[in-house]
A and B are shown apart, each in its own frame.
Chain A
Amino acid sequence: MTDRPFKEGAFWDRLEAREVEDDLRTALRERAARTTGTVLRIGEQASLVAVIEQIFPRAAVPAPVIAEFIDANFDKQMGRGDERHGTLPRAELLPAGLVALDAEAGAAFHAIGPERQRALLASAEAGKLKGRDGFESALWFARLRELAILAYASDPRGMQEMGFPGPSFRPGYLWLGYAGPDARAKQRPGYRSF
């Protein structure tokens, strides 16, 4: 359960009202329609899903959906060009982290208990998880979380859980109605879009 359950019809109606472009509306619908996902490249699906469930517990966007997004994009630049010299490039960094988690756990990450999972992730965030040469666990944790946030926050279910109304083209944000000083005056406490 979330504070702001996804209001399926209302969200799309509002996008229609705002004349958001067809291709973007289609993309948003596709993102929000996914309930499961497949991990093919980065490592074991169950372990990645377990990591995400620890980072995003009970999120409006299902963990397997976020896992699939990470699997599809972990080796892409995604707007970021910097890579730390002397460390694994991102294409190798994220898979190496999943291997390191299993190695430290002495079992598959998804098979160990939640307390132990959280302890291992805390260790990774603190830079203490050991891995192959060039592996920096704090960097791994940050990059994984960054991708997960991108997956979550670009999904209409995540947007709505965060209280964000989505794209605002053409007449302005929903609560503005039509952009103008009078409508903008509604940007005050107590006036909510959801």
Chain B
Amino acid sequence: MTATRIRRCAADLGLFLAHAVELEAEAAARYDELADSLEAHNNPEVARLFRELAGHGRSHRDQVAGIAAAHGPLPKVAPWDFDWGGAAESPEAPTFEDVHYLMTPHHALALALRCETRARDYYAAVAEETDQPGIARLARSFAEEEESHVALVRQWLDRFPPPPPGWDEDPDPPNYNE
């Protein structure tokens, strides 16, 4: 269990759902952006993987958005007002800086595993902190969904062991300036 304290969104169902929708939407969009980026840099294998992860993300985003729609209008939250327990961005979004143009499927899946784990821990923390049964029930179910993603990514990782050292050596490097 993470030590992160998630106070604001654990106190209000609308606020919690607004956070959940943002978390899922941002993850899906980010995986698509990374897929685009790796396509542009001629790494189709990892691009396909990111695109597949984006697809899973979109599916979960739509599922959460459907639940949120049944709740009614959600509060409008500015990007900087989301409470991600001290993190700069939502827990499931891979950070831009964690990618490399020569990265392998192993690196992509290791990155995805960190993101899915953070999302699971985030929802679990909300479930633990809230005193509202409705929020606790939803947060637990979202945490279980994320846990299933964690298990799935672990299975995929088994198929892609770490590459040998030197995976990032480029015989035609972009910064060769002789």
The finding on whether chains A and B are genuine partners in a shared complex, rather than unrelated, reads no
- A residues in contact (CB < 8 Å) with B: none
